[in-house]
Amino acid sequence: MVLALITSFQSGPPVNMTFNGLGNYQRMLTDATFKKAFFNTFLYLLVQVPIMLFLALFISNLLNDKKLKYKGLFRTAIFLPCITSMVSYSLIMKSLFSQSGLVNNLLLGIGMIDTPIGWLTHPIWAKVLIILSITWRWTGYNMIFFLSGMQNIDSEIYEAASIDGASKWQQFIKVTIPNLKPIILFTSITSTIGTLQLFDEVQNITGGGPANATTTLSQYIYNLSYKFTPNFGYAAAVSFVIVAFIVYIVDNPNESRRRESMKSMVEKETIAHPNVKKQALGLRSAIGSALKYTALSILSFISIFPFCLDDSGNDEYTRGYHIGKNKDWQ
């Protein structure tokens, strides 16, 4: 982690990196590809995650009906995409949505379109394809969490609501969702982190194209490290941008709750122990937050930054440098 942070302030070939100060971070402000990757990543986050979680919640509510037959079959069918190989399902999606694929032929057959849609060649439709692919794969994964939470809600609560005249929709809004708040928070955080690290679907379906229209931050980091002339200093700097957002997103929902809890604890400690200074409790909170941020940063960075060693112990990025050593560095 510390080595990666130091690397983000360096530039040049991996075998001869020099200190660059804040140059890598300043470069982001004028890097058009980084801005496009940043915009695409957060577009997927703001559009795809809410749609996926709503679908998962809606399907879970349907499958939680005791009168529904073949529930096991439906649950398995919806969850199956989650255990499918990413490469396999990406290739299937690429084939289905190709210019002469099944989807275009079906839409042409029923008269919804006059000409085939460029799912892989049009910037907007390519984004739609990525969103559809992610939603198809991960809706079933989140459904399992919601379904398990719904099954733990006491059925007597629903019976009491029915006796009071509550409709199914009112029961869903006023009984189901309030009892699922912790699970909704958990799935929102994990889905957000997964979207910020989105790589496989984009790499295998569109390759980031057309013209970087679908590229994400994680794919851009990969390109900086292995596809383009290796620039691990800039790649590390971009990685830390993602880490910063992940730490902020994970910590932010609990900020107000932690402050209220800390305030209550200070009042109790002060009443029980008048000689205990509030500054000591504040220091305890600061240390706890620092440790949490450090742990989250390390876990997030390990899953993002493409740094690994080969069997001989040599850095893999050194071999990448030799491949592109005759190219100019930026």
Q: What confidence tens digit (pLDDT) does each residue in 243-253 have?
A: 887 777 666 65
Confidence bin at 52 (pLDDT 50/70/90): very high
pLDDT, tens digit (0-9, with 9 covering 90-100), for 171-188: 889 899 999 999 998 999
d(CA 216, CA 238) in angstroms, rounded, equals 11
d(CA 202, CA 219) in angstroms, rounded, equals 8
18-19/10-11 β-pairing:
antiparallel
Q: Return the biggest CA–CA distance within the chain.
A: 80
Task: State the angle between helix axes of 232-251 and 181-196 in degrees (0 to 180), rounded to the nearest 10.
Answer: 170
pTM, full prediction: 0.75
Write down the pLDDT at residue 134.
Answer: 92
Confidence bin at 321 (pLDDT 50/70/90): very low
Write down the pLDDT at residue 14.
Answer: 73
Confidence bin at 19 (pLDDT 50/70/90): confident
Question: Residue 216 belongs to what H/E stretch?
Answer: none
Angle at the Cα of 306 (from 304 to 311), degrees rounded to 5? Answer: 135
Closest CA to 229 of 320, 150, 123: 320
Write down the pLDDT at residue 131.
Answer: 94
Confidence bin at 281 (pLDDT 50/70/90): very low
Closest CA to 304 of 224, 242, 211: 242
Residue 10: strand, helix, or coil: strand
Write down the pLDDT at residue 309.
Answer: 36
CA distances (Å), 198 to each of 44, 178, 192, in order? 9, 30, 10
Dihedral, CA of residue 42, residue 44, residue 49 and residue 50, to nearest 10: 90
Mean pLDDT of 312-324: 40
Q: What is the mean pLDDT of the chain?
A: 78
In sequence order, what E strands does the chain have?
Answer: 10-11, 18-19
Report phi then psi at 18, rounded to 5: -125, 155
Residue 319 tokens read as: 């071999």
d(CA 230, CA 329) in angstroms, rounded, equals 9
Report phi then psi at 281, rounded to 5: -70, -35
pLDDT, tens digit (0-9, with 9 covering 90-100), for 226-279: 887 778 888 888 888 888 877 776 666 555 555 556 556 555 555 555 554 444
Residue 23 tokens read as: 């140059």
Write down the pLDDT at residue 11.
Answer: 80
Percentage of the chain lying above the pLDDT 90 cut: 24
Domains of the chain: 31-227 (1.10.3720.10)
The yes-or-no verdict on residue 296 having pLDDT over 90 is no
Write down the pLDDT at residue 308.
Answer: 43
Mean pLDDT of 6-19: 80
Burial category of 239 from C-beta neighbours within 10 Å (exposed 0-12, middle 13-18, buried 19 and up): buried
Contact 56, 139 (CB under 8 A): yes
Residue 78 tokens read as: 């919806």
Report phi then psi at 11, rounded to 5: -150, 170
CA distances (Å), 78 to each of 5, 51, 127, 292, in order? 41, 16, 23, 35
Mean pLDDT of 68-94: 87
Confidence bin at 313 (pLDDT 50/70/90): very low
